[in-house]
Amino acid sequence: MKQRFRLAVVLVLPLWLSGCGSEHEETAYLRPVRAQQVQYHESVRVARYSGVIVPRREAELSFGTYGRVLRRAVDVGSRFKAGDLLIEIDATDNYEKLASVSARLRAAESTLANANADLKRYQNLLEGRHVSQADYDRQLNLQRVADATVSALKAEEELAKIVILKSRLVALADGVVTHVYVELGQELAPLQAAVRVAYSGTQEALVDLPESALDLAAVGDRVEVSYWALPGVTSEGLIREIAPRADKQSGTYPVRISLPDVDERVRLGMTTEATFSQKPETQVATLPVSALHTTDDGDQAVWVIDTESSGVRLVPVEVVSLEQKQVNIAAGPAVGDWVVTAGVQKLRDGEQVRLLP
C-alpha cells in the first residue's frame, strides 16, 4: 500500500510542477511604474535674494589739517544743502600764520620794488659807462633774489588761506548725514574721518549673489525689487555694477541695482528682495526630480518606456536647472516619450513595465 502511494506522488508531482511553469510563463511579472509624457517648452529661471537700500554716492569727509572741533552743525539724519557748514575746527593758529606770512610778503614786495628801481638806475649807469659790468650783475642778482622771495611768500600765503578754508567742512551737494565720528573739543589729525554723508540722487539696492547665481546677472539687466516694509510696492531696477571678485568674508559677489524711480517712502537701510530671471536659449522639459537616475559613471539619465514592447531603456539627459522638486532638461528624450518618474532605481535595461493609473 505504501509503495503504491509513493508511486502516485512521484507521478503526480512532475505534472503539477509543469502546470505551474506554464502558468508563470503566461502571466510574466510587469513592474508597475508611474510615468510622465515629455513636452518641451520655454522656461524662465527665477531666483530671489535679499538686499538693502544704499545711496548711489556716499563719502567720508575729513579735514586736511590738525585742529580741535569748534562747531558741529549736524547730527545723524540731518539733511543739508550744497554749501552748508557741517563741522568746523579751531583755526586760530592758522589765522596767526596767515597774518605772519602776509606781513613778510608786504616787506618782500617793498624790497623787490626797491631792487627793481636800483636795477633800472644801474642799467642807465652801465649804458653811460659810469659803473662796471660786475656792479650791474650784483644788482641784477639782488633783484632776482627779491623777486623769488616774493613768489615764495605768495605761494605760502595761498597755502595758509587754503588751510583756513579746510578748517570748515562744507557740503559739496545736497544729502543726509549717515554717521558722525567726532564730538565738540575733540582733537583731530589730518585726514581723520569726521562725518559720513550720503548725497541725494539715485538710490540703489545692494544684493549679495552666490557664485551659483552669477549667470542670472549681467550689467544692464532689469531686476524687480520689492520692499519688506512696504507690501505691494515694487521698483524696476537696472544692474549697474557686479563686483569682479567675491567678498572675503561672505564669499558672495556684491551687486548694485540702480533704482531711478523709487517710491518716496523708501529709506536708506530698508530690506529689499530682488528677483533675478533668465530665459534659457533652448527649450526645456520639466520632470519630477525622482525621474533622474545617476549612472555608474556619475552621469544623469532617465528611463524611457518603449510603447510597443513596454520595455525601458536608459537615455542620457542634459540638466539645465535643478530645483527642490523638479528638474529642467534640455536634451535626451523626444517629445511625446514616456519617462518613468517613480521607481527608477529598481529598473534594469529592457525590463518590461506597466503604467499605474
Domain that holds residue 156: 94-161
Assigned C-alpha cell, 215 = 549667470
Instruction: Please check whether residues 103 and 153 belong to one and the same domain.
Output: yes
pLDDT at 1 over 70: no
Does 324 map to a domain?
yes
Specify the higher pLDDT residue, 238 or 9. Answer: 238
Q: Tell me the CATH number at 140.
A: 1.10.287.470
Q: Which amino acid does the sequence have at 280?
A: P
Mean predicted lDDT score pLDDT of the chain: 84
Same domain flag for 265 and 293: no
140 in Cβ contact with 123 (< 8 Å) = no
In the predicted model, is pLDDT for residue 338 greater than 60?
A: yes
In this structure, the number of other CB atoms found within 10 A of the CB of residue 329 comes to 25
Measured over the CA atoms of residue 178, residue 183, residue 184 and residue 190, the dihedral's sign is negative
pLDDT tier, 280 (very low <50, low <70, confident <90, very high otherwise) = low
The confidence band for 128, taking pLDDT boundaries of 50, 70 and 90, is confident
pTM: 0.56
Most confident of 29-43, 126-140, 220-234: 220-234
Does residue 105 form part of some domain?
A: yes
Q: Copy the grid coordinates of residue 307.
A: 510603447
For residue 114, being part of any structural domain is answered with yes
Domain boundary among 161, 190, 215: 161
132 found inside a domain? yes
207 plus 262 within the same structural domain: yes
pLDDT of 293 > 60? The answer is yes
pLDDT band (50, 70, 90) for residue 9: very low
pLDDT, one tens digit per residue, over 232-264 is 999 999 999 999 999 999 899 999 999 988 888
What CATH number has the domain bearing residue 272? 2.40.30.170
Q: Which three cell numbers stand for residue 272?
A: 529689499
Which of 18-22, 54-58, 209-213, 218-222 comes out lowest in average pLDDT?
Answer: 18-22
Q: Which of 5-9, 264-268, 320-324 has the highest mean pLDDT?
A: 264-268
Tally of structural domains, the chain: 3
Of the residues 109, 144, 161, the one at which a domain ends = 161
State the average pLDDT over residues 48-54.
93
Same-domain pairing of 241 and 266: yes
Q: Is residue 111 part of a domain?
A: yes
Q: Which residues contact 330 (CB under 8 A, 6 or more apart)?
A: 280, 282, 283, 284, 285, 318, 320
Tell me, yes or no, whether 239 lies in a domain: yes
In this structure, what CATH number is given to the domain that contains residue 316? Answer: 2.40.420.20
Of 136, 161, 186, the residue at which a domain comes to its end is 161
pLDDT tens-digit readout, 130-185: 888 888 889 899 999 999 999 999 998 998 888 787 788 899 899 999 999 999 99
Q: Are residues 257 and 292 in the same domain?
A: no
- The answer to whether residues 205 and 269 belong to one domain is yes
Could you tell me if residue 154 is inside a domain?
yes
For residues 268 and 293, membership in a common domain is answered with no
CA distance 52 to 238: 15
Q: Please write the tens of the pLDDT for every residue from 66-120.
A: 889 999 999 998 999 999 999 998 877 778 888 999 999 999 999 999 999 988 9
Same domain? For 264 and 206 the reply is: yes
**Are residue 273 and residue 205 in the same domain, yes or no?**
yes
Same-domain pairing of 288 and 274: no
Instruction: Evaluate whether residue 148 is within a structural domain.
Output: yes
Place of cell 510563463: 25
